[in-house]
């Protein structure tokens, strides 16, 4: 069954870094907005005459919390139509139309394997939703490694929150990887990091989220490592 279109309002906008924002949305329906961690919503933006040219999908970055509010994490793409509208013409208090929740990029209810969450940029959004859900519901897990690729320290999204989750979740490890800045953490690209770690966890499952180039490269690396396709899930951005 396809989710119906509904309306909501942007109640808060927070700058995450120089080109990324957090949009907090409250649905007009007062009932709790129920979704599975990892799912997304599709916005209908007034940017084109054709309906399917107006639709933009974004992963939900917050966990289900029994309210009618949720968070989206959106990066500005100046060459596009959707995000320039959201960044330059959309403000707190404005209404929007959306459909969702949608998608099957979700953790199973019972987490029976080690997991590698591999992402770049705003691809961290569905994993944040999953990790918040694990923490809030005290779910039992095996090892979870979040390997997050970005350019500089200033663009590490949810950095403090992820560090705090490391202290609260005994089997969780956050590994930011920088490609454009020298620092005392991991440098380069995500592929080098997870391939080095994954040899110690041959039965691990992999969840990939980000731009197509990263996901395609990861699929090649994992195939070369002999990882079965059934152990891999992915969500493409763009």
23-49 tens-digit pLDDT: 999 999 999 999 999 999 999 999 999
pTM of the full predicted structure? 0.96
Q: Dump the DSSP string for 27-52.
A: ESS-S-----TT-EEEEE-SS-SSGG
pLDDT at 1 over 80: no
Is residue 107 a part of any domain in this protein? Answer: no
Whether residues 233 and 132 fall in one domain: yes
Reference 145, options 186, 105, 109; nearest CA is 186
Whether residues 97 and 132 fall in one domain: no
Domain boundary among 49, 69, 102: 102
Here the CATH number for the domain that contains residue 149 is: 3.40.50.80
In the β-sheet with 20-27, what is the strand arrangement from edge to edge? 55-59, 40-44, 95-102, 5-17, 20-27, 69-75
pLDDT of residue 173: 98
**In which domain, by residue range, is 88 found?**
5-102
Q: What gap in Å lies between CA 146 and CA 118, rounded to an integer? A: 6
Domain boundary among 75, 102, 129: 102
47-88 tens-digit pLDDT: 999 988 999 999 999 999 999 999 999 999 999 899 999 999
Whether residues 144 and 226 fall in one domain: yes
Is residue 167 a part of any domain in this protein? Answer: yes
Whether residues 154 and 232 fall in one domain: yes
Here the CATH number for the domain that contains residue 59 is: 2.40.30.10
Please give the average per-residue pLDDT across 196-208, as a whole number: 94
C-alpha neighbours within 13 Å on the C-beta side of residue 124? 29
pLDDT of residue 3: 78
Is residue 161 a part of any domain in this protein? Answer: yes
Q: How many folded domains does the chain comprise? A: 2
Sign of CA dihedral 209, 213, 216, 217: negative
Please give the average per-residue pLDDT across 202-222, as a whole number: 94
């Amino acid at each position: 069954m396809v989710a119906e279109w509904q309306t909501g309002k942007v109640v808060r906008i927070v700058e995450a870094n120089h080109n990324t924002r957090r949009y907090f949305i409250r649905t007009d329906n007062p009932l709790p907005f129920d979704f599975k961690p990892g799912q997304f919503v599709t916005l209908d933006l007034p940017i084109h005459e054709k309906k399917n040219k107006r639709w933009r999908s974004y992963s939900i970055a917050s966990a289900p919390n029994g309210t009618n509010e949720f968070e989206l994490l959106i990066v500005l793409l100046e060459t596009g139509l959707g995000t320039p509208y959201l960044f330059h013409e959309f403000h707190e208090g404005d209404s929007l139309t959306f459909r969702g929740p949608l998608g099957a990029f979700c953790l199973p209810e019972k987490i029976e394997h080690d997991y590698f969450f591999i992402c770049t940029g705003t691809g961290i959004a569905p994993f944040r939703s999953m990790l918040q859900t694990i923490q809030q519901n005290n779910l039992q897990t095996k090892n979870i490694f979040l390997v997050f690729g970005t350019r500089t320290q200033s663009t590490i999204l949810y950095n403090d929150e992820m560090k705090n989750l490391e202290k609260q979740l005994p089997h969780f490890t956050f590994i930011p990887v920088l490609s454009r800045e020298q620092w005392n953490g991991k440098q380069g690209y995500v592929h080098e990091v997870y391939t080095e770690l994954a040899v110690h966890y041959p039965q691990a499952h992999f969840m990939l989220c980000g731009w197509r180039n990263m996901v395609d490269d990861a699929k090649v690396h994992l195939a070369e490592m002999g990882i079965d396709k059934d152990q891999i899930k992915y969500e493409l951005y763009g």
